[in-house]
Amino acid sequence: MNNGETSLRQLILEYQALNDAVINKIHDRIPTALELSQIIASNRPLVIRLYNQFQKLNSMQDSDGFHAIKVFDNWPESYLIKRLGSQLITIARAPAENTDSIVEPAYEKMTMTDFF
């Protein structure tokens, strides 16, 4: 094995050690804004399992038996523009929309109206 292969193997092992395959799970509540932003920033999977009382109070049951939480379904472009239209937000832009690739995306500040 040459130096390049050895270095690559070492890099892979270090990456695997630092980035385990743990999936974050929240079982009984909706995460706070801070928790959610930290999880999103870590670029790791998240499973939110809400307790039944919350689902019964704040959702509608679909014909397939699953619950759909209304607040997550009611965010069309018009709603977001109405709520955030003139507020500056940070948008991640990357070539070919690959914001989750190895290349760090470029971040831009713009209004929600300009984004849509």
The tens place of each residue's pLDDT in the chain, 116 residues long, gives: 788 899 999 998 888 888 777 788 887 777 888 888 888 888 778 887 765 555 555 445 554 444 555 555 677 888 888 888 888 988 877 766 555 566 677 788 999 888 88
Q: What is the 3-state secondary structure (H, E, C) of the chain?
A: CCHHHHHHHHHHHHHHHHCCCCCEEECCCCCCHHHHHHHHHCCCCEEECCCHHHHHHHEEECCCCCEEEHHHHCCCHHHHHHHHCCCEEEEEECHHHCCCCCCCCEEEEEEHHHHC
* Same domain assignment for residues 113 and 84: yes
* Same domain assignment for residues 65 and 85: no
pLDDT of residue 98: 56
pLDDT of residue 32: 83
* Same domain assignment for residues 81 and 68: no
* Same domain assignment for residues 93 and 108: yes
Predicted TM-score (pTM) of the model is 0.37
